[in-house]
Amino acid sequence: MAYRKSIGLAFFWCVIFMCLGTRVTSQSKQVTYLTNSSLKLAAPIIQVDSLLFKNSALAKVLLRQDGAELRYTLDGSEVSVGSPIYESPLELDKTTQLRAKAFHPDYQPSETISLTTRQIQKDLRTAEIQIQPKPSETYSASGAKTLIDGQKGSPNFRQGNFWLGFQASEISVALNFEQPKEIKKVVVSVLNDQDSWIFLPQKLMVSASGKTLGSVTLDGCHEKQTKHGDFLEIAIIPDAYSELTVKIAPMEGIPEWHAGKGTTPWTFIDEILIE
């Protein structure tokens, strides 16, 4: 009998503690519900029929979200609620940095996305071109002429025949023109795909007849970045030139945070332009 009484008391106190525990837990936990106003819109997508063009390019801004309003700028400035509303495809007839952002009365605005399209101002297809060292046999496209054929590669460098790939301490590209050309800027189209050990170069320099005309250093090339193509601009002393040499220097080694740390990074180039 005493044994049964002990079991009963133990069971009684067990139930009491469980009830108290449940009460304390229910009082200490607060359920938080997300509201629409705390959610951010997905970023829109920019589609363009050609990143590199002679006359014009057609750009579309897309987002599947009922009630969302797309706004954009064409001068590289930040997109705001006062920017133009995107209503139909945009015809771009000059070098343009298109930026777009989505707005909705019930959600936070999306991230701003950006895409640069570039007009070919001077045709280089008849120029003589030499490259040292030669590109990798795996990524040699159509040889040196690839860089002046007016064809832009996509960030998927394995698709098509557009990119020259180098794993060297310096790449030198010599251009000779049939007639002197008025030039104030050189543009090098490069790729950044760090998962494939392809990094932006650290420094670019332009010279003529042994004289340095201009250079640019990229301080952020060591930082983690998403895959993208980029047009790197080097302003030079404006003049008429019959020849130019473009030297492209990568980082000395892949940064410590990367699996390929210390290795010479790959440099991918698909076009050189002059303006």
Answer whether residue 229 shows pLDDT above 50: yes
Q: What is the mean pLDDT of residues 146-153?
A: 95
Q: What's at 128, amino acid-wise? A: E
What pLDDT, on a 0 to 100 scale, did the predictor assign at position 7? 44
Answer whether residue 21 shows pLDDT above 80: no
Q: Which of 37, 51, 266 is nearest to 138 (CA)?
A: 266
What pLDDT, on a 0 to 100 scale, did the predictor assign at position 81? 96
Write down the mean pLDDT value for the chain. Answer: 90
What pLDDT, on a 0 to 100 scale, did the predictor assign at position 190? 97
Q: Rounded distance, CA 114 to CA 74, Å? A: 10
Peptide bond into 133 cis (omega under 30): yes
Q: What is the mean pLDDT of residues 232-236?
A: 98
For residue 257 the two structure tokens come to 């945070």
pLDDT band at 109 (very low <50, low <70, confident <90, very high): very high
Neighbours of 124 (CB within 10 A): 19
For residue 153 the two structure tokens come to 């590669």
What pLDDT, on a 0 to 100 scale, did the predictor assign at position 37? 64
Q: What is the mean pLDDT of residues 110-115?
A: 95
